[in-house]
Structures are given as C-alpha cells and as structure tokens.
Structure 1
Amino acid sequence: MKAELISTVFLSEKRKSALLMLMDGPATVDEIKDSLTGTTSAIMAQVKILLEQGLIEQKEDGYRLTHIGKIIMKKIKPLVEALDVVQENKGYWDSRNLGCIPEYLLDRIGELGEILVHEPDLNHLFEPPSQLLKSLHQTTNVYTFYSYFCPTCPYNYAELSNKNVNFHLLLTQPVYDRLKDEYTDQYNAMMESENAHLYICNNDTLKLGALSITDDMMLIAFFNKEGIFDHKKVLSFEESARQWGKDLFLHYKEKSEKVK
C-alpha cells in the first residue's frame, strides 16, 4: 500500500499538481482543469485515481483533500519543492559547498522556489547582478552579508544611508577593516545614519560568500567545493525565498558583534 500511494503522487505530474493545488483549499472541477494541462478526459482520469486512493473527496460541486490526503501532502510538499529547486540546476548545486547552511534551513531549501543562477561575464565579474542594483534603488529594507570585498558595496550602502533606507550589513573582520580604512567617506556616511546597522562576524564560522535580501528579491552566493568563489549567484524573487534568506541572515547575526 505504501508503494501504491507513493506511485499515486509521484508517477503523474497531473496528480501531483492537483494535490498541491488542493492544499490551498477546495477547488471546483473547472478550477482543476484550468490549472492543469491536458484534455478534460485525461485530467478527470487522474482525479478518479486520487478519489480511489482516498487522497481527495468530492463535496457538492468540488474536490478537497481528505484527512489522509492532508497528512501525506504536508510531508510530501517540502520534498517536491526541494526536488524542483535542485533538479532544474543540479550541476550548480552539486558543485556548491552547502556547509554554511544550518540543517534546519537545508530542510527548507524548497522555499527558494524558482531560482535564477547568475554567472557574470568577465567584464562584470566583480559587480553585483543588475537585478540586485535595481532592487537596492527602490527597497526600504536590506539585509546583506559579505565574506569578500565587493568594490561597489561602500558606494551602494553609503547611498542607502543618505536615502535613510533601513539596512543591516554584516561583514567579516577583514572586509570591515578594508571598508573602514580605505572608504572613509562611505564608512562615515553609514556610521552617521540612524538606519544603518553594521556587524562583524567571526571568520571561523563562515563558509558563505554573500547574502542579500531586499523587499523583492534574495541573492545568495556559495563557495564551490574546492573553496573557490567563482562569482555564481542564486537569485529568487519569491516571498518564501526572502523569508528563508532572512532566517539565514539572523543565524549569522547571532554569531556576530554589533558595531553600531
């Protein structure tokens, strides 16, 4: 029976999609048809299988998950989401050092949702992606971490300070020292802003390249398994990814010392 239920969920994209849809609440026949691709007969054939397996039930003119269906889908949904994140960019994830992510957030990796792997060309190797720069110009809140020195960072965050954008900037000690010693004007602008919050993180705890969360996107950059930073970055514009990123930022913030 166990194998039969697993097959019912995973061996048909239509069945899996219908179950995930019904996690948000009951749906009519027409709503199910509109959300899935295929002929009406093909879709209804899969709905019939879900009914026979006791995962959904029909009430009046619509369908909803049974209690068993809810129990199973609450466990399966995170797995489906994680598979969706990984399988679309499997080569990228295979090459990353994910030791910087605590176990409880690795369990929630599916919350990244639809991602874009950004790989800059040689002419823009040390510049943040254009999507992040655009987002920084219109955001009201920013959470950022760097373990390497980004040449545009002092100017970007000095500008945020002048615009009174609320931001939390977490840096390793060497990166912080370089900001303070070599970019005095920009550093002072940050220190004078009531909305700027700076932190120094213990180098020994870090294996992460960069992290930035704005009002509408999340960026994260990992070292590869050889310990090399190759400038590849993951972007996501989903709300769940931004919350995941904030939770990761808070994880590192707890290991940090506040400068101001």
Structure 2
Amino acid sequence: MKTELISTVFLSEKRKNTLIMLLNGPATIDEIKQSINGTTSAIMAQVKILIEQGLIEQKDDEYRLTHIGQIILKKIKPLIEALNVVEGNKEFWDSRDLSAVPDDLLDRIGDLGDVTIHEPDLNHLFEPPKELLVSLKSSANVCTFYSYFCPTCPCNYSELAKNEVNYNLILTKPVYERLRDEYTDQYNAIMQSQNSHLFVCHEQIITPGAISVTDDLMLLSFFNKKGFFDHKKVISFEENARQWGHEFFLHYKENAEQIK
C-alpha cells in the first residue's frame, strides 16, 4: 500500500496537480480541467485512480480530498514544491553554496515557487537586473543585503534614501567601508534619511551574495561551491518567496549592528 500511494501521487502530473488543487477546496471536473489543462476523459481516468486509492471522494458534482488525502497532501506538498524549485533549475542549485541559509528556511525552499535564474551578459555583469531596478522605483518598502560591492548600487541606495522609502540596508564590513570612504555623497544621503537604516553584518557569520526584497519581488544570489560569485541571481515575484526572503534578511539583521 505504501508503494501504491507514492506511485499514485508522483507517477502522474495530472494526479499530483489534481490533489494539490483540491487542497484549496472541492472542485468540479470542469474546474479541475481548467486548472490542469487536460481533456475530460484524461482527467476522469486519473480521478478514478485517486478515488480507488482513497485519496479523494465525490459528493454531488464536486470532488474533494478525503481525510486520508488531506493528511498525506499536507505532508507531501512541501516536498513537491521543493522538487519543483530545484528540478526546474537543477544545474544552478547543484552549483550553489547554500550554507548561509538557516535550516528552517532550507526546509521551506519550495516557498520560492516559480523562479527565474538571471544570468547577465558580459556587458551587464555589474548591473542589477532590470526587474529589480523597475521594482525599486515603485516600492514603498525595501530590504537589501550585500556581501560584495556593486558599483552601481550606491546610487540606487541613495535614491531610495532621498525618496524616503522605508529602506533597510545590511552590508558586510568591507562593503560598508568602501561605501563610506569612496561614495561620500551617497553615504550621507542614506545616513540623513529618516526612513533609511544602515547595518553592518557581523564578520563571523556566513553570508550569501545578496538578498533584495521589495513590494513585489525577491532576489537572491549565492556564491558557487568554489567560493566565487558568478553573477547568477534567483528572482521570484511570488508572495511566499518575498516572505521567505524577508525572513532570510531578518536572520542577518539580527546578526548586524546599526550604524547611527
């Protein structure tokens, strides 16, 4: 039975997606069909299997998870979401050093949802992705962490400060010192802003490359397993991803000292 249930869930995308959909509540065949893009006959064949395995049941014209189905799906859903994130960009995740991510967030990496991997060309290596720049212009709340120096970022930092965006910026000590010593005008704009808060991360803590969370976007970058930064970045626009990124940012804020 254990093998049968695992096979029932994982060996058919239609079955798996139907079960995940029904976690949100009962649905008719037409609603299931619209959600998972299949023909009525194809979906009915998979629904029949799910009923036979005791994972769903029919009441009137609607299908819903059984109690057993709810128990199993609540446990399996995080695994499915994690697999979707990793398998979609397996080569990228295989090459990342994820030691900076707290265990509880690694367990929830499926929260990143539908991600894209941004890999700039040689002419834009040291520029933030356009998606981030667009988002910064319209966001009222921004959290940013950097452990490497991006030459275009001081202007972006100061622009947020001048616009009195609710802005929290965490830098490693070397990055902070370069900002302070070489970009005086931008540094002063940040320090003079009532809504900008600058922090320096403790030197002993393991850090990723960058974290940015805006009102509608989350961006992450990690060093590769050889310790190099290759400019590849993870971008997601999903709400759960932004919450995940915000918690990741707070992990570093708790291990940082505010500059006043």
TM over 0.5: same fold?
Answer: yes
**TM-score normalised per structure 1:** 0.98
- Partners in 2 of 1:171 and 1:118 — Cα distance? 22
AA at the equivalent of 2:2: K
Q: Which amino acid in the other structure matches residue 115 of structure 1?
A: V
TM-score, structure 2 normalization: 0.98
Alignment of 1:112-127 (within 5 A): 112-127=112-127
Separation in 2, partners of 1:239, 1:144: 17
Show the counterpart of 1:182: 182
- Tell me how far apart the structure 1 counterparts of residues 66 and 25 of structure 2 sit (CA, whole Å): 11
| Residue in structure 2 matched with residue 208 of structure 1 by the alignment | 208
Which residue in 1 is equivalent to 2:194?
194
- By how many angstroms is 1:206 displaced? 2.3
> Could you tell me which residue of structure 2 aligns to residue 39 of structure 1?
39
1:130-155 per-residue CA deviation (whole Å, 9 max, x = no partner) reads 11111111111101000011111111
Q: Identify unmatched segments of 5+ residues in structure 2.
A: none
Which amino acid is 1:66 matched to? T
Partner of 1:149: 149
- Indicate yes or no: 2:3 matched with 1:3: yes
Could you tell me whether the CA contact under 8 Å between 2:173 and 2:203 is conserved in 1? yes
Q: Aligned partner of 2:255: which letter? A: K
- Say if 2:29 and 2:40, in contact at 8 Å, map to a contact too: no
Partner residue in 1 for 2:12: 12
Once the 2 structures are TM-superposed, how far is the Cα of residue 250 of structure 1 from its aligned partner?
0.6
* 1:37 Cα deviation after fit: 2.6
Q: For residues 67-86 of structure 1, what are the structure 2 equivalents within 5 Å?
A: 67-86=67-86
Moved runs in structure 1, 4+ residues, more than 6 A?
none
CA distance in 2, matches of 1:38, 1:136: 39
Tell me which residue corresponds to 1:248: 248
SS of residue matched to 2:209: strand
Aligned length: 260
Tell me by how many angstroms 1:19 deviates.
0.2
Distance 2:203 2:125 in 1: 24
CA deviation string 1:150-187 (max 9, x = no partner): 11111111111111110100000111111111111111
Aligned pairs for 1:25-36 within 5 A: 25-36=25-36
Percent identity for Structure 1 against Structure 2: 69
5+ long unaligned stretches in structure 1: none
Q: Does 1:259 align with 2:228?
A: no
Q: Deviations over 1:35-68 (max 9, x none)?
A: 1233211110110111111111111220111111
1:198-237 alignment runs, 5 A limit = 198-237=198-237
Structure 1, residues 118-138: CA drift from partner, whole Å, max 9, x if none?
111111111101111111111
Q: Write the distance in 2 (CA, Å) between the matches of 1:38 and 1:247.
A: 37
Aligned amino acid, residue 73 of structure 1: L
Report the residue type matching 2:32 in the other structure.
Answer: I
Q: Over aligned residues, Cα RMSD in angstroms?
A: 0.9
Aligned counterparts of 1:38 and 1:241: Cα–Cα separation in 2: 28
